[in-house]
Structure 1
Amino acid sequence: MRTIDLFCGAGGLSLGFQQAGFETVAAVELDRPSVETFASHSPNANLIDSDVRGVDFSGFRGQVDVVIGGPPCQPFSTGGLRKAKLDERDMVPEFIRAVTQVQPEAFVMENVPGLATGACRAYLTEVMVALEDLGYTVDVRVLKAEEFGVPQKRRRMFLVGIRGDRFCFPQPTHGEGGLLPIRVAGDILSAEPFGQPNTSKVYYAKKVDLRKSPYQGLLFNGGGRAIDLGQPSPTIISSAGGNKTHFVDSLGIVPEYHRYLMEGGKPKEGAVPGCRRLTVEESACLQTFPQDIQFSGPRSAQYRQIGNAVPPLLAYSVADALRRQVFAHEPCLDIAANQAQYVLL
């Protein structure tokens, strides 16, 4: 079972597929630090470090069973203009071109949920029709990473095409729909950091936005949020590293300060005692990267690679379901039962 990974980044998607038994034959990535990171954990892959638009994929026909990849999300993200195919950064047509040239048994495209909602939904329908015209049965679903063992709140859209019946998406393994409890940030983090400390300070915000929960709204500077260790972490973002990095409150200041503000107290000034930003290593663990992965480039590039990645454990769940259905020919009901049995082991 062989894959080619387009827009591979640091390799979260490929690592998940490898854990499910797939071999990464080739990968395409333009960003140099990401290329170096990917090469460090997948040295046998043919790593094509160039613009995907200049790659001829026809040579991989018969050599690759599954095309996987996550095209840049900026054209579809709710944080942007959401111009979809009118955005020059839209690389979805390149993914379709690769599938057209390779003619694999299956493909898996990952992206932000914004591609499946609102104004972008019409474009997604066009994409699905184009892929169906190539002979695939195509389906789409937004999965919650925390329902598959990732200690982080993260929603990702998966577009899967196979030949024959519709793809059986994996069933949740954690939380209300699964057999195991949701993993929380406290399973990974503690008051003491691991990895190289992040020196970016946490300050009280001059203007606060109070919400019901002390872990919502805006009480502190930047986009980084205080982490409730009893819940999954907020989504790890690619712009982390500075004050957009989430932080750990080792002294319990956050709920106390929230209560103080709710009772009419005025915003404080200065640095918040006992608060520290996440390290690269902690961020990677919250994304379920193996602990021995070494991220290349400056610290900002390392945070970016981690924030852009598909959590390997979420990728594994999709890959394992694909392996069972397409390559082991298991019926959908058997896939769900076997998955449940695996989780209990």
Structure 2
Amino acid sequence: MKSPREKSPGWNITEAERAVYRNRSQASSAAKAKALRGEGPKPIHPINVPKLHPEDLMPKLPSHGLRSLSLFSGGGGLDLGFDRAGFTHVASYDILPDAGKTLTQNRPDWKVFAGESGDVTQIDWRSYRGLVDIIHGGPPCQPFSVAGHQKGKEDSRDMFPEFVRAVLEIQPVAFVAENVTAILGKKFSSYVAEEIEKPLSEKYYLTKFILSAPDFGIPQIRKRVFFVGFKMDKVATKYQPPQGTHYWEDGSGSGPSKPIQLDLFSPGKPSKLHRCMGIREALGLPDIGFDALAPTIRSGLTGPRHTTSVLSSVSAQKNWEKLQIWPNGVAANREEAHLFVAKKGHFRLSVADCGMIQGFPEFWRIEGAVYMGLGQIGNAVPPPLAYRVAESIHQALS
């Protein structure tokens, strides 16, 4: 069975384009093999030891008994965040077999459905009614992102209606859905109103807000919208979106941003903020007199071909250049990144580094080939962000 991602017309490329990609890939593979045999340029950078430990951004909380079901689980960003916030895991669903391997490797006791069994379009969710308190998930963002051509409802990867169906069939006390901020643009206003808000508002009180990753200690430029719904009016009325725990100072005097509240409530004022690290500091790299937030990490599954690059745009390329970090040809591990010297002597990223930039702790192993690992990382909700959303929901329900 093909996943919705594989059916998109955006994956159709000409033979000439395919040949260009193939030649680049072959040349890179040959250079990498030579380097790993010790025949390439002498390594420049020692194996880095990151200074940022994402688990510190989401201290493990005791179990409080609320049960969560995960849809479109991917590499487990929401799953891990809710787990560390004290939620009891019920099950995870994802169409990618490697995502299932990642979740099972890290949490052998979890019930995980992946591949054909993780196809949410084939599930009768009514069997979970009464067994789930919270449903969370990030339906594929490609139908709404620029990289995915913004076809919205016409994109076969649009799974938001399936998330809505699961919520209405299970009827949990609350739900959380995450996506790219582009879904809130004028182009998709009728989609949001008709496909998301209209069917859900019959049984749920809805709010939506935008959170920025650096405000929660994650050294990456990344904003995401969260749709949150509660079944009970009194719970929805007292709900407060998570407040930033960190600030990023870029030398221009800019401080922390507030959650962009789009519907119901006035955000409270955080009492104490910690400094968010720049990406070089977080990676444990030497001081070069310049540091900044990492550009948004791109999914290795986005675009017309699988890629081991996390480069998302031309402007991102310029920022990576200033940071002296090479965003292409991400290595499987730090040892290989050390041996495979990047162009201009820049620091080469590893899968573990990209995971850390996205907020995954070192102990959370991402399974699969490099492109698949980057796909799971780039598509994930940063776990510390998920953790704070989970925490805010528990507080509202307490």
Unaligned runs of 5+ in 1: 193-226, 255-270, 329-345
Structure-1 residue corresponding to 2:367: 296
Paired position in structure 1 for 2:246: 174
Q: Residues 317, 228 of structure 1: CA spacing in aligned structure 2 closer, same or farther, 3 A cutoff?
A: farther
1:27 is paired with a residue whose SS is strand
Instruction: Give the one of 180, 192, 211 matched to 1:112.
Output: 180
Cα gap change, 1:253/1:146 in structure 2, threshold over 3 Å: closer, same or farther? closer
Q: How far is 1:242 from its partner?
A: 3.7
In the other structure, the counterpart of 2:148 is 80
Deviation sequence 1:100-142 (CA, Å, 0-9, x none): 1111000000111111112112211221121111x21101111
Q: 1:110–1:159: 8 Å Cα contact kept in structure 2? A: yes
1 or 2, which has the higher helix percentage?
2
Q: Aligned to 2:293, which of 223, 226, 232?
A: 232
1:3 corresponds to = 68
Look up the match of 1:19.
Answer: 84
**Percent of aligned pairs with the same amino acid:** 37
* Residue identity matched to 2:356: C
| Aligned position for 1:276 | 347
Structure 1 counterpart of 2:200, from 106, 131, 145: 131
Is 2:283 the counterpart of 1:189?
yes
For the 8 Å contact 2:77–2:383, the answer to whether it is kept is: yes
Q: Which runs of 5+ in 2 are unaligned?
A: 1-65, 248-254, 257-269, 301-306, 326-341
Distance 1:79 1:228, change over 3 A: farther
Match of residue 224 from structure 1: none
1:69 aligns with 2:134: no
- CA apart distance, 1:288: 1.4
Q: Within 2, Cα distance between the matches of 1:145 and 1:75?
A: 22
Please list every run of at least 4 consecutive aligned residues from structure 1 whose deviation after the TM superposition is greater than 6 angstroms. Answer: 245-254
Q: Deviations over 1:68-113 (max 9, x none)?
A: 0011111111223322122222111100110011110000001111
- 2-structure distance, mates of 1:9, 1:24: 15
User: Residue in 2 aligned with 1:338?
Assistant: none
2:27 match: none
Q: Are residues 236 and 249 of structure 1, via their aligned partners in 2, closer, same or farther at CA, if it must alter by over 3 Å?
A: closer
Shift of 1:42: 2.3
User: Does residue 93 in structure 1 map to residue 154 in structure 2?
Assistant: no
Q: What is the number of equivalent residue pairs in this alignment?
A: 276
**Normalised by the size of structure 2, how large is the TM-score?**
0.65
1:185 and 1:228 in contact (8 A); partners too: no
1:174 CA displacement: 1.4
Give the 3 Å change call, closer, same or farther, for CA 15–253 of structure 1 in structure 2.
closer
Please give the secondary structure, in 2, of the residue aligned with 1:16.
helix
3-state secondary structure, aligned to 1:278:
strand
RMSD of aligned Cα (Å): 2.5
Change (3 A) 1:92 1:182: same
Code of the residue aligned with 2:274 in structure 1: it is L
CA distance in 1 between counterparts of 2:90 and 2:177 reads 17
Residue deviations 1:17-56 (CA, integer Å, cap 9, x gap): 1111111110111101111001112222221223110011
Q: Which residue is equivalent to 2:311?
A: 244
SS in 2 for 1:3: strand
Separation of aligned partners in 2, 1:250 and 1:53: 43
1:162 pairs with 2:230? yes
Looking at structure 2, the residues matched to 174 and 26 of structure 1 have their Cα atoms a distance apart, in angstroms, of: 32
